[in-house]
Chain A
């Protein structure tokens, strides 16, 4: 009897549904549920067997399904400024409404954050903690003004791992299992390597990977990166991409005429509009900071390494390193252009972006455009502006191509 081979698409859908269902079922059984920021050390809760919901992931899904506005309006009614991160507004509203167009996730029993992606998290989760009257575990990762993570920072972060473990033992009433911790670290690193391997396919010309699929795939690196199932998923994706590449095929639905880097978070409410605009010109988003963002590598058991990995995520790096990273992505992925999302929700990305774009352009000469948008607030994006900017970029990329041919 031949069994139909499971595709990565099916498996991804299965894992995503399971992630939410497990938390819902667990909560009903009286098990603990945590809400966590996206690049917090998931190793700790995974070791403790605590269900984890990721509000950023949840908000993005709500945004992508067109359901952000009712929550955003509710948050604004409560006094949250329109200037604040829209993920935060959605999450803080969901805490009260407990209703949305996507999975209705259970409320948390504890909270865990790592501010390596922004300080907004600290304020957002303070409010959740205060209003739900539940403990908040904070792993504070100071911004790297230096190019590398200093030893003083590593020592401080390690001290917080110890404090977090103490808090978790207190909350759960259980001892932290260091053997299991070691095992989770080992799996997490295999998942990170497997993810990274799959993402390498964007470097092939034409790319067998449709860049916008990265936005789907990465959901599992947020919610599931300490598990064997993620290793399996990304191995599967790599295998499928390898097959496509071997046969000169690709996931990208049209001929790949241009390759670009996308800077910043997706514009979730307009994902399909953005993709259609790109497709119209044969633009594949092969360059992204996400492949690296989720490649958190360290040796299992090495807490210094783990601290360094969590402190080295792109949002926590200084501008010099941020520039180097983008230059490397543009070069390695052989990009013809770059699109910068001036995301109204993310001040940390925005307030360095002008310099970032200018310096990267100075070094590479690769043309770029900037558009105004938002990760989930649909009111902060204009289709016409986006289309005009992309059109302008295409014209420049075309000109550059013609010149290259002449030479």
Chain B
């Protein structure tokens, strides 16, 4: 096993076995683990308390019990999360944090209080008028409450110094992820779509400075190698999440390489640093006002389309694949506008409806194959 394979192996181990991550962390540190729901959960506050924040972004499973809690037309990530919770998979967590940037998450947070009483839920609501000072101050007050609830769990106050340190660790991590994302397209053979996804996803299950070390080591190893040439067609992914894993394998099978993304589960999390000035909670609150191009963050100018087009130009992408999370209102509202903007910019677009619980990938296979063939024929 070479160095790169060893790094990938470590990343794979945490993604494949999150419950092991939880028990190991407790054993090693004597401290607990907090589950962070999508989106933009302030992990830094949890990190500063010494607990481990881990991401809860659903997973591939057969849902059954959740049907007594949520209708079948609920977002698949939330169906999986509630299913896992009902089956007791989250019982080892000290708490979960559930933000509410959409109607589904508002509801799921409330449902949790009634159906999963054994795991503490810390709920918060992000402001939509995030660019006015009143919005920043309001969000700071929400973070203050989250901080107090986290402090109550660990029985210790989180100092400004601890929190600033955690913010720094997260900003360093974001920078490492951006570097990785920029250089990955140079190594399409080594960094396949699945590997790229794994490298990014594994950050949800590792203490961030440890993940930064691994990512930096990976970058270093890659740089030692010559740039890899392939005939792969380059695509940008946009949407909430590029899962199930079979989906990424289909990209690879059909000669597609991912040269950039605008996924809520990936780049949207590390595109925007926490700004430098002010006390730590204000800094965290201000980051939300700086985020652009996300379907969950109010933007009457709808800059997202242009941002993706710019990214496609910069990465010389041949096409864009929109991974539409089934039943996701914010993304579904953005789609018609994005589609017309991409058409105007003459960038081919593939719309894929994705569902973590989907049992068959055959329909996706046909569509991805057709898209890949179209991209190849366009070049001729």
Contact = CB atoms under 8 A, between A and B. Distances in A.
Interface residues of A, number: 51
| Size range of the chain B interface in the assembly | 35 or more
Contact of B339 (A79, A88, A156, A352): A79
Interface stretch (B154-162, B261-269, B292-300): B292-300
Contacts, number: 151
A329 interface: no
B337 A123 contact: no
21 contacts: A83-B329, A84-B332, A85-B329, A119-B102, A119-B103, A119-B128, A120-B333, A123-B295, A123-B334, A126-B300, A131-B337, A142-B125, A142-B126, A142-B127, A143-B106, A152-B138, A153-B138, A163-B132, A347-B104, A351-B103, A354-B68
B299 A156 contact: no
A132 B275 CA distance: 34
A100 to B, nearest CB: 20
Given A79-B339, A159-B135, A350-B107, 17 more contacts: A83-B73, A84-B332, A119-B128, A120-B329, A123-B330, A130-B301, A135-B300, A138-B298, A140-B127, A155-B137, A163-B132, A163-B134, A347-B104, A352-B110, A354-B111, A355-B69, A355-B111
Interface in A118-141: 118-120, 122-127, 129-131, 135-136, 138-140
A119 B102 CA distance: 6
A354 B69 contact: yes
Contact of B128 (A122, A129, A155): A122
A171 B34 CA distance: 47
Interface of B: 68-71, 73-74, 100-104, 106-111, 113-115, 123-129, 132-135, 137-138, 141-142, 295, 298-302, 326-327, 329-330, 332-337, 339
B138 A145 contact: no
A312 interface: no
A38 interface: no
A138 B103 contact: no
Nearest to A76: B336
A83 B332 contact: yes
A contact face: mostly helix, strand, loop, or mixed: helix
Interface of A: 78-81, 83-85, 88, 115, 118-120, 122-127, 129-131, 135-136, 138-140, 142-143, 145, 150, 152-153, 155-156, 158-160, 163, 318-320, 342, 344, 347-348, 350-352, 354-355, 359
Specify which of A85, A126, A129, A136 lies most central, judged by the most chain B CB atoms within 10 Å of its CB. Answer: A126
A74 B332 CA distance: 16
A84 B326 CA distance: 11
